[in-house]
Copies of this chain bind each other. A is one copy, B any other.
């Protein structure tokens, strides 16, 4: 997307109104959980896409049509047959919720934007909006290696873009609040790489056992916690990059 040119951090502002606004943004946006002026609409649009993607997943959960309707016994059988779909719904809900939490934490400390950040966010939203598709494949054919590998490859790419949404503003574009300590920036970076690592490592596992690979994806959460604990991103230190904490 060549229309999204990066702005060099030292570029002079075009006019004083713009410069004045940036100054205002810089001073007010160090409040955690408060989205900086100029970022509100990007964050809003992103949240709407997250919310719709997470809710559309339920459309895959449908009782099959049955001539003559159901009895209690056949309904229970049909519900049992929907357990893999329910598992896929839960899995993708957790993945999207995790993506949203990462987005939420990142934009709690981002104090200004540039075209690259907007571009990375739109690419990320492409994968969020697309997630119901691999989810529906796993819901229906989750015992096939090819279905699990498709989801794992998709998850790898999507979580790498999610990691870029932290790495670009914090380590490349200098778009986050200077109040965030450098070691926290580094440790949060390690944490964002947990999800891509798990998805990549699950690909060979899926060749042997798709179900084990799918179970691995839930490991993202305890492993992120281990990384948080190891680097002191715990209850107290985590707050600096944890938007809504006190």
User: Could you tell me which A residues sit within 8 Å of B by CB distance?
Assistant: 1-3, 5-9, 11-15, 17-18, 20-22, 24-25, 30-35, 37-45, 47-59, 61-63, 69-72, 75-76, 79, 89-90, 93, 97, 100-101, 104, 107-108, 112-115, 117-118, 122, 125-126, 129-130, 132-133, 136-137, 140-141, 144-147, 150, 175, 177, 179, 181, 221-222, 224-225, 228, 234-240, 242-246
Q: Enumerate the 8 nearest inter-chain pairs by beta-carbon distance, A residue then B residue, closest first.
A: A33-B38, A48-B51, A21-B31, A113-B244, A2-B225, A17-B30, A52-B55, A17-B179
**C-alpha spacing A49/B45, complex, angstroms:** 10
A27 to chain B, nearest CB (A): 10
The answer to whether residues A11 and B52 also contact, given A114-B245, A114-B246 and a CB cut-off of 8 A, is no
**Does more than half of chain A's interface fall in helix, strand or loop, or is it mixed?**
helix
Residues of B within 8 A of A224 (CB): 3
**C-alpha spacing A39/B89, complex, angstroms:** 27
Listed by A's residue number, 26 A-B pairs whose Cβ atoms lie within 8 Å are A2-B221, A3-B224, A5-B228, A7-B239, A13-B239, A15-B240, A21-B31, A22-B32, A24-B31, A33-B37, A34-B37, A35-B41, A38-B108, A41-B43, A42-B104, A48-B52, A51-B51, A58-B132, A59-B132, A62-B136, A63-B137, A63-B141, A70-B141, A75-B141, A93-B126, A113-B246
Residues of B within 8 A of A41 (CB): 33, 35, 43, 47, 104, 107, 243-244
